[in-house]
Homo-oligomer: A and B are copies of this chain.
């Protein structure tokens, strides 16, 4: 099942996480503070952001990704899917129950 890696401004991360769980697109979201370093208009800059690690099902991935792109304030959000190689069966079952 996918873990979706998204970065967002700190100011919107909590609300984004709550919306995705509330709409049953995500079973849970782990939000981690980070400093992001990248190039912007020719300069290397560093900003505070939040990494959201979002748990969903294989079937739920496309709807989740679409909804994140709708809600996200960036034109080009970091949105990547990583698939586990193995997981606790009970955790997989809980994710599946949590997604519509």
Contact = CB atoms under 8 A, between A and B. Distances in A.
A30 to B, nearest CB: 4
Contact of A32 (B18, B34, B76): B34
Given A83-B85, A91-B79, A34 B30 contact: yes
A70 to B, nearest CB: 12
A41 to B, nearest CB: 13
B86 A80 contact: yes
A95 to B, nearest CB: 9
Contacts of A98: 38-39
B51 A35 contact: no
A83 to B, nearest CB: 5
A81 interface: yes
A83 B82 CA distance: 7
